[in-house]
Amino acid sequence: MAESPTRLDERAQGEDLLMIAGRELHSRLLLGSGGFSSLELLSEAIVASATEVVTVALRRVAPAARGSLMDVLADAGVELLPNTAGCRTARDATMTARLAREAFATDWIKLEVIGDEDTLLPDGPELLRAAEELVDEGFVVLPYTSDDPVLARRLADVGCAAVMPLGSPIGSGMGIRNPYNIALIREAVQVPVVLDAGIGTASDAALAMELGCDAVLAASAISRAQEPVRMAHAMRAAVQAGRLARRAGRIPRRLYATASTPEEGLAEL
């Protein structure tokens, strides 16, 4: 009897765990919780994506919505990854990280320090300063960074647990604009590389994994899709496919054809 596709999936992947700061993760897809029109949709997307890590932001308490997001994430059994979204300086970001540690009892922080209003591109010097400070305070720092291999190396050098380069600006859905830099980042650092920002559709996520990224973080690409739950499933499949393809080793690109059928034994007609 033929094996079920799910069983084949599992066998093909084997024990291929993602390790971040000593933590084992089975899923290589991290989910941003922003942009979902309801908590029910977020909850369904978490299941469809099979993610184990979901980002949250820290904002002033809104009397009406209190607690329910935390409940949804606790029910889903996922790890919270608080972010410092909206921070413009190292000071704001480090303060926000400390507050997040207090609120969520986790040392993990997705560090964002934004340097430009229109593109939301990271502010390199502030980011590095904040990263260094937070590492010293015992945080597991996952910095959202530009696709600059030198900055990525600097962030790894100060002790970040992973680096999270952008493919293109946050929410732009423009995919990976500089795949060569992403590949260079993979070579430049020992820590996991998580492609963050710019993913527009499943093929972008697969490309990230084929380039050697260890994981992908998707938010808007899923939450703002016409059918978020279906897209969550697509992203999960794409990340798995891209990872398998990377491990399998692709054939080199050639300008001319290489016959896949031997000439030998060809009939003379």
Partner 1 sequence: MILLNGERCDLPAGETVAVALQRMGLDAHARGIAVAVDGEVVPRAAWERFALGEEARVEVLSAMQGG
Residues of this chain that bind partner 1 (CB under 8 A): 32-36, 42, 55-63, 65-67, 69-70, 73, 80-83, 85, 95, 98-100, 102-104, 110, 112, 219
| Residue 100 C-beta: closest distance to partner 1, Å | 7
Beta bridge partners of 83: 110
Question: What are the beta bridge partners of residue 164?
Answer: 144
Q: How far is the CB of 125 from partner 1 (least distance, A)?
A: 22
> Is position 216 annotated as part of the catalytic site?
no
Nearer to partner 1, 36 or 139 (CB): 36
Question: What φ, ψ does residue 106 adopt, rounded to 5°?
Answer: -135, 145
Catalytic entry in 28, 78, 93, 110: 110
The span from the CA of 252 to the CA of 259, in Å, is 14
**Residue whose structure tokens are 């990340």:** 239
CA dihedral 192→193→194→197, nearest 10 degrees, is 160
Whose Cβ is closer to partner 1: residue 102's or residue 268's?
Answer: 102
Please tell me the distance from the alpha carbon of residue 229 to that of residue 245, in angstroms, as a whole number: 24
Which pairs from 224-229 meet CB under 8 Å and 24+ separation? Answer: 224/35, 224/171, 228/36, 228/41, 228/44, 228/45, 229/41, 229/44, 229/45, 229/48
150 vs 113: CA distance, rounded Å: 17
Angstrom distance (rounded) from CA 131 to CA 109: 10
Amino acid at 236: R
Between 184 and 208, CB nearer to partner 1: 208
Amino acid at 176: I
Q: How far is the CB of 34 from partner 1 (least distance, A)?
A: 4
Min separation Cβ 234 and partner 1, Å: 20
User: In terms of CB distance, is 87 or 191 closer to partner 1?
Assistant: 87
Q: How far is the CB of 124 from partner 1 (least distance, A)?
A: 19
Nearer to partner 1, 81 or 134 (CB): 81
DSSP 181: H
Q: Which is nearer to partner 1, 57 or 76 (CB)?
A: 57
Joined tokens for residue 42: 């977020």
CB of residue 95 to partner 1, shortest distance in Å: 7
Catalytic residues: 110
